[in-house]
Structure 1
């Protein structure tokens, strides 16, 4: 009797078995990415203390903060491509080692130059860790479990984002500013051991290196981020900002032209032909622009408006973190039922509602309304972000997981930086316009300057005027944020198809097999 195999049964038979240690591996990936979030957010709290101890100027502080971001953003596309070529586990291991070693140097830095150098190496390490870790996750979990994994990783990142300022405040209060780097070291050691022991190696088919593409992308992205950082402080009136913008435009246009013409591009631009990838990428950019200034604006409101200490201001964001964790857990169960598109749209609409709540804040609102808005915003973000990222990465072929993850990271980083710059500029402009004409130029510059002047002169009227003007400026800023998130919801509804990622094609499997045969190390090593 002849036995026939249905296509579905054949597909099931060919499907790779799930790694039994995949959830432990996810924990290692979460630890690896957690240190990147903790380091940057905790450092922002440590700035006053390290500026005093290292005798750092304002320019030194800017380089300490920005050097990491410039290197990180500039190298993401290159490191994602390297992960696909040379192995994602290998690249992630190198990144963790570099990040840990640089953290040791930063802990004992004796002057600003040493700290800037350490931050540059940390940026290189971070750029190696981020896309490699995300691409490992993408290859490790199938369509059925990927949303759960993304929700867990997103929840951990949110916890780190909100909790790290609190942690930084405690460390500085009990020890010294170097403790914000010292805390990286045990986390790196645990993540490094877990990566070496647990994480399987994976890579895409071997391709020729693209050194010109790497240089163009690094120069273009670094120049773009520098331009965004400089825009709020003087706009395009500075020659250096205009020069950086020109370099960014020329380099990135040349990069796109070059990548579209060579046989083996570092970044496959055909990914953007997929509606899920292109639409999800633009949507995430709008989300990051919309909420990029949330922490920046609310931190100032809590400290200057409500008189909170930096530590208390950090603790005030915990409701958002808890709400995001709850929503991420709920989304992990709802994702397979509702689909990524529906879950992302619902989450984005909830986020927009949270931003609208924030527009109602006044100088006398207190923390109650802020807490409500943070919970709403956290619930929306916990639903939307993992779903949107899962939809994007689900459209990336496994052999291009590294560079696809890097594109996702790059888009989000650029969007977040642009959001801080745009919303920061809107806030500053609105605040200046809402201050009374009788206020001094210094008081009209920022609420911090106005309160400092009021403290020197004893002018209580200036305090009230500054807080009222800042609250009005916040309303304008959060209104723009709500519009950005609402636009992202509409775009997500229109662009995403809401379908699960397609299984790996036979051609793709053949490419991976060929790559495995042509290298001493197998494509998948457990």
Structure 2
């Protein structure tokens, strides 16, 4: 692919996933105002966040499989369209139930954007330049993560929480024709849709993620939570067995024979569990416990959330030279130390500085 094609691919995929990453966190600093405006409770606030992440987690594999089968650009455009329409729906919501449903639709759209951005970049960028390309992509998403709480808090405090969702609509409207005109269509080597594997993976992930989401509310030893873990786990085991023997697997299990591949996936899972759960908790702590406004809370989150924007491109370029193992290990240990530090010092009267 030409240099211009590579640049367009990076710009458009990064812009689309920027929206999805921003909406993962932009709502966190707006939650107290949304709670008051829509007469919600704490469980509603949790579902406004989890309503996005639950379908996102459950449909990621389906989004990638649909792209391989029907065309990555086509499904990517469909994800943008769904995400944009759901953002308008969220902005127009007048009840917590409507907002949670809109957030779920946003999550479904984002489940097509994230995996297909990877495959579109991989198809466009030569192997020896992908570390830098994914570093740039990571920096843009880091910008969304960094500014999510601040953007959400500033818009909520100075305009209205509805506009944290309206913000996506013009971006999506501009992206759809540009993606159609500038990105080349591509398909995966296996263009058969594994319906049984898709159903098993989606249902299994739904059960496990639902159990995690409801653990605090219902108790980790409650029947519904344990049932979610057991049934979800059983379905995921059935998914693995199916993928081992089916002629056209959605996820080739041979990839997990690589210790590096398996370790990176486990590390990524633990990293996201720690990071996003803690960001939700800390934004509520800053507002409900320490009394900061949404904008003030967003500013105080910035030193944490801004780091991916700075580190990601440097780490991507460095990984092309020395490999990624040491970089990932160093980042993982640093993050674990930071979260441990938070756990020690986070008291109601602790000074921010």
TM-score, length-normalised on structure 2? 0.89
Structure 1 position 254, deviation (Å):
1.6
Q: 307, 313, 318: which one pairs with 1:329?
A: 313
Partner of residue 175 from structure 1, selected from 159, 167, 174: 159
What CA distance in whole angstroms lies between the structure 2 residues aligned with 1:289 and 1:121? 22
For residues 249-278 of structure 1, the C-alpha deviation after alignment (integer angstroms, 9 at most, x for no partner) is: 222122122222211122211111123311
Taking the aligned partners of 1:184 and 1:361, their CA distance within structure 2 comes to 36
**Residue 222 (structure 1) shift:** 1.0
Which position in structure 2 is the counterpart of 1:212? 196
Q: Figure out how many residues of one structure are paired with residues of the other and give that number.
A: 352
Q: In terms of Rg, which structure is larger?
A: 1
Q: How does 1:299-314 map to 2 (within 5 A)?
A: 299-300=283-284, 302-303=286-287, 306-314=290-298
- In the superposition, relative to structure 1, how do residues 143 and 271 fare at CA in structure 2: closer, same or farther (>3 Å)? same
Alignment of 1:103-502 (within 5 A): 103-300=87-284, 302-303=286-287, 306-355=290-339, 357-358=341-342, 361=345, 363=347, 366-368=351-353
Q: Secondary structure at the match of 1:236?
A: coil
1:332–1:221 distance in 2 versus 1, CA, 3 Å: closer
2:27 partner SS: helix
Of 223-232 and 63-72, the range deviating more from structure 2: 63-72
Contact kept in structure 1, 2:146 and 2:308, CA below 8 Å: no
The CA distance in 2 between the partners of 1:232 and 1:156, in whole Å, is 33
Contact kept? 2:190, 2:248, Cα under 8 Å: no
Q: Secondary structure at the match of 1:232?
A: helix
Under a length normalisation based on structure 1, what TM-score does the superposition of the two structures give? 0.62
Answering whether residue 50 of structure 2 is matched by residue 66 of structure 1, we say: yes
d(CA) in 2 for partners of 1:353 and 1:48?
A: 29
Instruction: Give the RMSD, CA atoms, in angstroms.
Output: 2.5
Deviations 1:404-440 (A, max 9, x none): xxxxxxxxxxxxxxxxxxxxxxxxxxxxxxxxxxxxx
| Higher relative contact order (CA closer than 8 Å, sequence separation 6+) | 2
Cα deviation code 1:444-487 (max 9, x no counterpart): xxxxxxxxxxxxxxxxxxxxxxxxxxxxxxxxxxxxxxxxxxxx
Q: Write the distance in 1 (CA, Å) between the matches of 2:282 and 2:51.
A: 25
Q: 1:276 to 1:194 in 2, by over 3 A?
A: farther
* Structure 1 Cα separation of the partners of residues 82 and 262 of structure 2: 33
Corresponding residue of 2:6: 22
Change (3 A) 1:351 1:118: closer
2:84 counterpart of 1:100? yes
Structure 1: runs of 5+ lacking an equivalent: 1-16, 369-526
Q: Structure 2 vs 1, CA of residues 63 and 322 (structure 1 numbering), >3 Å: closer, same or farther?
A: closer
The question of whether the paired residues in 1 share the 8 Å contact of 2:28 and 2:280 is answered with no
| Contact map agreement 2:16 2:175 (CA 8 A) in 1 | yes
1:338–1:220: structure 2 CA closer, same or farther, 3 Å change rule?
A: same
Q: Is the 8 A contact 1:18 1:141 kept in 2?
A: no
> CA offsets, 1:368-408, max 9 Å, x none?
3xxxxxxxxxxxxxxxxxxxxxxxxxxxxxxxxxxxxxxxx
Aligned residues of 1:171 and 1:180 also touching (Cα < 8 A): yes
Q: Partners in 1 of 2:280 and 2:268 — Cα distance?
A: 19
Name the CA distance, whole Å, in 1 between partners of 2:275 and 2:97.
33
Looking at structure 2, the residues matched to 164 and 27 of structure 1 have their Cα atoms a distance apart, in angstroms, of 19
The structural deviation recorded for 1:178 is: 1.4
| Separation in 2, partners of 1:179, 1:28 | 23
Shift of 1:357: 4.8
Structure 2 partner of 1:522: none
Q: Structure 1: how far apart are the matches of 2:168 and 2:69?
A: 28
176-185 or 207-216, larger mean C-alpha shift: 207-216
